[in-house]
Chains A and B, each alone.
Chain A
Amino acid sequence: MHFVTGGSFHGKAKWVQEHYSASRVAEGWFNGYEDASWETRDFTTSLVVLEGLEQLVKKVVEENVIGGRAALRGKLKLWLDWEASEPDRRLVLIGTDIGKGIVPLEKENRLWRDVTGWFYQDVVMAAERADVIWYGLPQALK
């Protein structure tokens, strides 16, 4: 699994499209800004890209005020099992870093921001490769 992160509007999806010769509008590319209810049964291609991880986190914390991180870990495990079950499968996760602004006034936004940060730590821990994209330039975290 390859995790790609960075601030908003930094060209993360563009970089993934170029790096993997993939298309954002093709099958196998799932966009969380439209719908983040990703299930492994929908993964039909060998390369699967999940874009907008923070949108999934938002959905999960709305449903689970407590235990959001554990619920997300469960999802991550299912995705990783899917990837590992065939040798040529590749999973790419794209998530916007939303953790460097002012502390949000609303409790639900603070929770969203916190759980996103924790989940990204879990994702990086499980990733074979992680990159931060800075205005199109990649910086390897691992």
Chain B
Amino acid sequence: MMIFITGGVRSGKSSFAEMSAIYHGKNEKRLHYIATNEHLDGEMDERIKRHQADRMNSGYRWKTWEQPRNIHELSDVYGKNDVILLDCLTNLVSNELFDGWKENRNQWEDELFRSGVFLKIMDGLRRLKKNSTAFIVVSNEVFQGLPCTDEGTFYFMQMLGKLHQQIVSEAHWVYQVEMGMPILRKGYVADEKQCTSCPV
């Protein structure tokens, strides 16, 4: 089963996602946290520490996996006794799409590379969905401002938008979190047809 949770920055989507994971864990499944951010500078450190402390203090034992790229590599370590929370998709997309830019390898400029990244990420997500009892994906709302003029940002948004559309169509439950309040965008009823055909 796949759950997709999206929202703006500081909307409370991570807390809601953690609650959902604990709920689906029912005190008997293992809880896994896939962190996709590469903390190369100090900017994210405090937030990472806060999220880690939250998970520690939640009274539940989480296992953290740092995986800024290639999430498909993790899929074999999980099974039907695992609940997985991936936080968040935007970092994963950025790390995959702009892989190599520091070494001046701007692969993202190549359309073939971009379509490969899309397929690779979707493949990773589908594997994690299959190899878990519940797979929760957290992502961000970045589509509400003026059209961007920067080419890299344009391709990033295009990729994230395409992924969101595909994930929403394949997810069983979809929530948009606004100021801590989850809004159910897609639920079981809308999804019954899909559930019969996919290996939940």
> Does chain A have a CB within 8 A of B15?
no
Are A109 and B161 CB-contacts (below 8 A) given A136-B169, A137-B168, A137-B185? no
Chain B residues whose C-beta falls within 8 Å of the C-beta of A96 in the assembled complex: 147
> Does chain B have a CB within 8 A of A98?
yes
Instruction: Say whether A9 contacts B158, CB under 8 Å.
Output: yes
Q: How far is the CA of A109 from the CA of B145 in the complex (A)?
A: 11
Question: Of B143, B146, B147, B186, which is in contact with the most chain A CB atoms at under 10 Å from its CB?
Answer: B146
Q: How far is the CA of A32 from the CA of B174 in the complex (A)?
A: 31
> Does chain B have a CB within 8 A of A28?
no
Chain B residues whose C-beta falls within 8 Å of the C-beta of A104 in the assembled complex: 146
> Does chain A have a CB within 8 A of B165?
yes
Dominant SS at the A interface?
loop
How many chain A residues sit at the interface, stated as a range, is: 20 to 34
> Does chain A have a CB within 8 A of B157?
yes
Q: How far is the CA of A97 from the CA of B141 in the complex (A)?
A: 13
> Does chain B have a CB within 8 A of A102?
yes
Q: How far is the CA of A8 from the CA of B143 in the complex (A)?
A: 5
Q: How far is the CA of A124 from the CA of B58 in the complex (A)?
A: 46
Tell me which of B146, B147, B161, B167 contacts A10 (CB under 8 A). Answer: B161
> Does chain B have a CB within 8 A of A113?
yes
Instruction: Say whether A102 contacts B145, CB under 8 Å.
Output: yes
Q: How far is the CA of A102 from the CA of B147 in the complex (A)?
A: 12
Shortest A9–chain B CB gap in Å is 2
> Does chain A have a CB within 8 A of B85?
no
Tell me which of A10, A14, A113, A136 contacts B143 (CB under 8 A). Answer: A10
Chain B residues whose C-beta falls within 8 Å of the C-beta of A10 in the assembled complex: 143, 161, 164-165
Chain B residues whose C-beta falls within 8 Å of the C-beta of A134 in the assembled complex: 168, 176, 185
> Does chain A have a CB within 8 A of B144?
yes
Instruction: Say whether A100 contacts B144, CB under 8 Å.
Output: yes
Tell me which of B144, B165, B174, B176 contacts A97 (CB under 8 A). Answer: B144
Residue of A nearest to B6 (CB): A135
> Does chain A have a CB within 8 A of B92?
no
Instruction: Say whether A109 contacts B185, CB under 8 Å.
Output: no
Chain B residues whose C-beta falls within 8 Å of the C-beta of A102 in the assembled complex: 145
Q: How far is the CA of A135 from the CA of B176 in the complex (A)?
A: 11
> Does chain A have a CB within 8 A of B80?
no
> Does chain A have a CB within 8 A of B162?
yes
Instruction: Identify 19 residue pairs between A and B in the complex whose beta-carbon atoms are under 8 Å apart, listed by A's number.
Output: A8-B143, A8-B157, A9-B158, A9-B164, A9-B165, A10-B143, A11-B161, A11-B165, A97-B144, A98-B145, A98-B146, A101-B144, A101-B145, A101-B146, A113-B146, A134-B176, A135-B174, A137-B168, A137-B174
